[in-house]
Chain A
């Protein structure tokens, strides 16, 4: 991963997929056995192509990205993430970050989660 603290530098943990294997594990620790995350019919009834991933799991993936970028040097001060679209089963996605500003010992980062076609499902900032 590119850990360069230069405005404009981008970094990612790379593309991956998630589905019921990941969602069930997360449901088990976050009490999220919610039909919309577990059942394609429930996802369709709610207006999506099928079951959708948990927003809180995407929140964790964004934190994983930040932790990997920090590599133990510093800490996460704040994160804001807006959920702009669903994460669907077995669709490739990747968390990305970009250095937005350097402010003394703090770094502002733009963080987002993007699918293979460049659509964003989550946008975030971290300081």
Chain B
């Protein structure tokens, strides 16, 4: 059985495969995120009531898992090979490699260690490093599991979040 992981892919383990710089986080970004993840309930006031947040938390704070990179970013690593939209080979194309060409990609898991909170005005930089490829067979057939290590820092160089993301392609 041919491996999904080419020699060139295997040699790329450890490389930085992506970096991004967010636009400054706005209070509206935080409010909308909270509305979405608590819907249909009203989100906690700490995410949208600036007066309460000032009194209790020194200002608005984003939910821990808030993503400041959705939709657009201020700057990012330019992929060596431009990917298609929702391209499962995006990671490999970013560093100039042909990917395995699998059709589907789903989220296999996430780990996060949280540092300082994200607040309005913060600009977050994310650096993603390829940590591991694994192959295994499951309910969806033969799958390629890719683990990336991610570090987020703010404009002061403080660590916001470190962790790992696992994707499953099949």
Contacts and interface: CB of A to CB of B under 8 A. Distances in A.
Counting contact residues on chain A (CB < 8 A from B), the size range is 20 to 34
B111 interface: yes
Interface string B83-119: 0001000000000000000001011111111100000
Contact of A83 (B40, B46, B67, B107): B107
B12 interface: no
Given A21-B39, A25-B35, A59-B65, A79 B106 contact: no
Given A55-B106, A56-B67, A64 B113 contact: no
Contacts of A80: 109-112
Size class of B's contact patch? 20 to 34
Interface stretch (A2-10, A30-38, A96-104): A30-38
Contacts of A63: 37, 63-65
B104 A60 contact: no
Contacts of A81: 109-111
A39 interface: no
B104 A79 contact: no
A61 B113 contact: no
A104 B44 CA distance: 28
A25 B39 contact: yes
A25 B40 CA distance: 10
Given A63-B64, A83-B107, 4 more contacts: A25-B35, A28-B32, A46-B106, A81-B110
20 contacts: A21-B39, A25-B35, A25-B36, A29-B29, A29-B32, A29-B67, A29-B70, A30-B36, A47-B104, A47-B139, A47-B140, A52-B106, A55-B109, A56-B107, A57-B37, A76-B64, A79-B65, A79-B112, A80-B112, A83-B109
**Nearest 9 Cβ contacts at the A-B interface:** A55-B107, A60-B37, A80-B111, A82-B109, A25-B36, A31-B70, A78-B113, A29-B36, A31-B71
